[in-house]
Each structure stands twice: as structure tokens, then as C-alpha cells.
Amino acid sequence: MLVGPTAAGKTALSIYLARFLPDLTVVSADSRQVYRLMDIGTAKPSPEEQAVVPHECINIRFPNEPYSAGMFGKESREVIFRLLRENKRPLVVGGSGLYIRALLDGLFEGELTDPEIRTRLREEIHVKGLQGLYERLRKLDPESARKIHANDEQRILRALEIIEITGEPRSVFLARMKSESPFEPVIYGLTMDRAKLYQRIEARVDRMIQAGLAAEVENLRRLGYKRELRALQTVGYKEMYACLEGEISLEEAVRLIKRNTRRFAKRQWTWFRADKRIRWIEIEPETDFERLAESLAAEIKGHGKIGGVKK
């Protein structure tokens, strides 16, 4: 497993690893690369990179289709066991901490929190009123709605937050809440000096703009995908929607994308630092990824397919 903040080099290292591990298949643990039509803004592996090593769990939903950490946990486990039956070596690569937790450990209700979702729901209260959110809850999770007063803002927000994160009502989630991990994972984490990572983030955003991020978002708009969709409440997309709809300039959109990506990377660091299973690898500007991949490949071979499946 290969984790770490955005722009640290996870994709590049996984491509190099494939040179030394010909049976390798990447299982993406990125909550936005699951969506079709969202390639540039999610830094999705290029067609050339995907030709080097097969990738699973990308391009499996359209932006208007629901997806959640709970769904990923179930589906990615199925993918990994299928790969093992086919004598292939799965390498989970990504920076979506909650998705990785769902895969490895299952989920506790207390772990289900997303500040961006909570902020957006609070903003909706000002636009639609609390009654509008309560009516949504009644449609999506009538059992929870019956137990929550229509004026109980905190519990309404919490119930809707769980639905958005898991893709299912709270009552359904609680029924199958946490399952024992079938894996004994070996987890490598990429990290680097924060200032250097922020420089890489800014350079990546500039490349995204040059590669046509605005055109990608304009295509999504043309196809009828509304900016309110959860998939499009993603750094890079939400700012570019605002730009294309005349709310901010391109220069301001780029500034916000860089700022919000830095903030996202900081949250990723905070999440992964709490996982004591991760072996951290410091990446420097002069790091030779090919030599690093060769060294890691030798270790991975000694650990089996994913560090071991519990008997």
C-alpha cells in the first residue's frame, strides 16, 4: 500500500514499481479518480501510465452517480480478492484516508466526518432553510427522521453528513458498521518537507491549467453536470465552475485552487500521521524514484501480495 499527501509522487513511484513487479495491479484509493470525465483535475494516471500497469477502481462512476467510502471499502476488497485469485499483486495507491480506512479496517460511526460536507450543508440551511434539509432527510432516511425533531439542526446535519459519506442511511450503516480487516497490510507513506511539497502542488496546478482544466470543466457543464454535485465539490472543479460562471477571474481561480490544495494536503498529513502502521519515506528533489522502486520491490516481494491475508 502506498499513501501520502497529494503531489508527493505516489503515482510516479507506482509506475516505477511496475517495472520490477510485472504482476502488479494498482488499486486506486482516490475518492475522485473513481469518476469518469474528471481526469485533469484529479491528476488521474494518464493513458500511457495505465498502459504500463493496470488500474482498478478508477472511472467506475459518472459524476452524478453516488459513491462513498463504505461502497469503496466493499468493492475494493472484492477487487483485491479477485486479483489474488488471478495470481496478481494488488498495490493500493491513494491519498483518501477514509477510503483506505474503509478498505483495511471498516468504519466506526465516530470516524465519519467531513468538514467540507458539513460546511456545505450549513450553507444550504441559509439558502433552503432547515426545513428543506429535514425534508431531504425524510426522503433519504425516514427511520432517522422519525427520531429527530424538525428543528434539531445538529442531528439533521449529522444524519445527512453520514448519508453523503457512506452513501446509505445511518440505520443501514449501523447495521453492518465495522468488520474485521481480512488484511495484514504493509503500508508505505511518502512525505517531504512541507515547503517543497507546496511548491510541487503549485507547479502541478499550473500544469493542470495548461493541460486544459478549464476545457474539462466546460465539458462537464455542457453535459449538464451541475456544480452542486458532490463529485464536483472537489478542489479544482468548484473553483473552475465559479470562474466559468463569471463569479471570479481565472487568476483568482488558480490562486484558490493552489490554496485549497495546500489545505487538503495538510489534512491528509494529519490523517495519515495518526496511523502507526505506516512506514514513512522522505522524498527529496533529488530522490531517484527508479532506485527507490527497485528497493521497495524487493521488500514487497518478501511480504506477499498485500502484506498478507489473514488465515
Q: Which residue has the higher pLDDT, 55 or 183?
A: 55
- Tell me which residue of 89, 32, 52 sits closest to 236, measured CA to CA: 32
pLDDT in tens, 22-76: 999 999 999 999 999 999 999 999 999 999 999 999 999 999 998 888 889 889 9
In the chain, the percentage of residues whose pLDDT exceeds 90 is 77
CA dist., res. 243 & res. 82, Å (int): 43
Q: What are the angstrom distances between the C-alpha of 260 and each of 40, 233, 254?
A: 16, 12, 10
Residue 23: per-residue pLDDT: 96
Residue 304 backbone dihedrals phi, psi, to 5 degrees: 85, -155
Using the predicted structure, report yes or no on whether residue 92 has a pLDDT greater than 90.
yes
Residue 308: per-residue pLDDT: 59
For 111-175, the fitting CATH number among 3.30.70.20, 3.40.50.2300, 1.10.20.140, 3.50.50.60 is 1.10.20.140
176 confidence band (pLDDT: 50, 70, 90):
low
Query: 2-107+178-303 — its CATH code?
Result: 3.40.50.300
Q: Which residue has the higher pLDDT, 156 or 305?
A: 156
Asked whether the beta carbons of 2 and 91 are under 8 A apart, the reply is yes
CA dist., res. 152 & res. 146, Å (int): 12
CA dist., res. 17 & res. 11, Å (int): 10
User: Measured on CA atoms in the order 99, 104, 108, 110, is the torsion positive or negative?
Assistant: negative
- Which of 66-80, 177-191, 255-269, 280-294 comes out lowest in average pLDDT? 177-191
Reduced to 3 states (helix: H, G, I; strand: E, B; else coil), residue 196 is helix
For the segment 277-286, the average pLDDT, to the nearest whole number, is 96
Q: Which stretches of the chain are assigned E, i.e. beta strand?
A: 2-3, 24-28, 55-56, 89-94, 187-191, 278-282
Length of the chain: 311
C-alpha cell at 217: 470543466
9 confidence band (pLDDT: 50, 70, 90):
very high
Q: What is the gyration radius of the CA atoms in the chain, in angstroms?
A: 20
- Name residue 279's beta-bridge partners: 188
Fold match, 2-107+178-303 / 111-175: no
pLDDT in tens, 225-245: 999 898 999 999 999 999 999
When the pLDDT of each residue in the chain is averaged and rounded to a whole number, the result is 92
Residue 272: per-residue pLDDT: 95
pLDDT in tens, 127-173: 889 999 999 999 999 999 999 999 999 999 999 998 888 778 877 77
Residue 113: per-residue pLDDT: 76
User: Measured on CA atoms in the order 29, 31, 35, 39, is the torsion positive or negative?
Assistant: negative
Domain residue ranges in the chain: 2-107+178-303, 111-175
